[in-house]
Structure 1
Amino acid sequence: MSERVAVRKTYKLFVGGKFPRSESGRSYLVQSGGSVTANVAFASRKDARDAVVAARAATTGWAGATAYNRGQILYRAAEMLEGRREQFVALGIPGDEVDAATDRWVWYAGWSDKLPQVYGGANPVAGPYFNLSAPEPTGVVAVVAPAAPALLGLVSVIAPAIVSGNTVVVAASPTEPLAAVTLAEVLATADLPAGVVNILTGHIEQTVPTLAGHMDVNAIDLTGVADAELATNLEAKAAENLKRVIRPIATDHDWYADPGLARMTALLETKTVWHPKGG
Structure 2
Amino acid sequence: MSDESGKTAKKTATAQKAAGSAKAAEPAKKPGAPRARKPSAQAAGASRARVRVDVLKTYKLFIGGKFPRSESGRVYEVTDSQGDWLANAPRSSRKDARDAVVAARKAFGGWSAATAYNRGQILYRIAEMLEGRRAQFTAEVAAAEGLSEAAAAAQVDATVDRWVWYAGWSDKVAQVAGGANPVAGPFFNLSTPEPTGVVAVLAPQESSFLGLVSVLAPVIVTGNTAVLVPSERAPLPALSLGEVLATSDLPGGVVNVLSGRTGEVAATLASHQDVNAIDLAGAAGDPELAKELETSAADNLKRVRRPGEPDADWAADPGTSRLLSFLETKTVWHPMGV
**TM-score higher than 0.5 here?**
yes
Report the equivalent of 1:172: 230
Q: Is the 8 A contact 1:143 1:170 kept in 2?
A: yes
Q: Is the 8 A contact 2:141 2:208 kept in 1?
A: no
Comparing 244-253 with 67-76, greater Cα deviation is found at 244-253
Structure 1 residue 149, shift from structure 2 partner: 1.6
Superposition misfits of 4+ residues, deviation over 6 angstroms: none
Structure 1 residue 148, shift from structure 2 partner: 2.1
The structure that is helix-richer by fraction is 2
Uncovered stretches (5+) of structure 1, i.e. residues with no partner:
none
The answer to whether residue 211 in structure 2 is matched with residue 163 in structure 1 is no
Report the equivalent of 2:57: 9
Other structure's SS at 1:278 match: coil
1:75 equivalent among 121, 124, 128: 124
Q: Is the 8 A contact 2:64 2:103 kept in 1?
A: yes
Distance 2:74 2:165 in 1: 37
Structure 1 residue 4, shift from structure 2 partner: 4.1
The answer to whether residue 257 in structure 2 is matched with residue 209 in structure 1 is no
Structure 1 residue 7, shift from structure 2 partner: 2.5
Q: Which has the larger radius of gyration?
A: 2
Structure 1 residue 33, shift from structure 2 partner: 6.5
Q: Is the 8 A contact 2:141 2:237 kept in 1?
A: no
The structure that is strand-richer by fraction is 1
Q: Is the 8 A contact 1:8 1:39 kept in 2?
A: no
Distance 1:228 1:252 in 2: 14
What amino acid does structure 2 have at the position aligned with 1:71? G
Distance 1:10 1:97 in 2: 24
Structure 1 residue 69, shift from structure 2 partner: 0.4
Higher relative contact order (CA 8 A, sep 6+): 1
Other structure's SS at 2:209 match: helix
Structure 1 residue 173, shift from structure 2 partner: 1.1
What amino acid does structure 1 have at the position aligned with 2:160? T
Other structure's SS at 2:201 match: strand
What amino acid does structure 1 have at the position aligned with 2:286? D
1:263 equivalent among 322, 330, 333: 322
The answer to whether residue 191 in structure 2 is matched with residue 143 in structure 1 is no
Report the equivalent of 2:98: 49
Other structure's SS at 2:199 match: strand
The aligned runs of 1:191-202 (5 Å cut-off) are 191-202=249-260
RMSD: 1.3
Q: Percent identity?
A: 65
What amino acid does structure 1 have at the position aligned with 2:95? K
Distance 1:92 1:105 in 2: 17
C-alpha deviations, 1:166-186, integer Å up to 9, x for none? 000011111000111011111
The aligned runs of 1:12-51 (5 Å cut-off) are 12-32=60-80, 34=82, 35-51=84-100
Distance 1:109 1:175 in 2: 28
Report the equivalent of 2:38: none
Distance 1:155 1:57 in 2: 23
C-alpha deviations, 1:202-223, integer Å up to 9, x for none? 1012111010000000000000
TM-score, structure 1 as length reference: 0.97
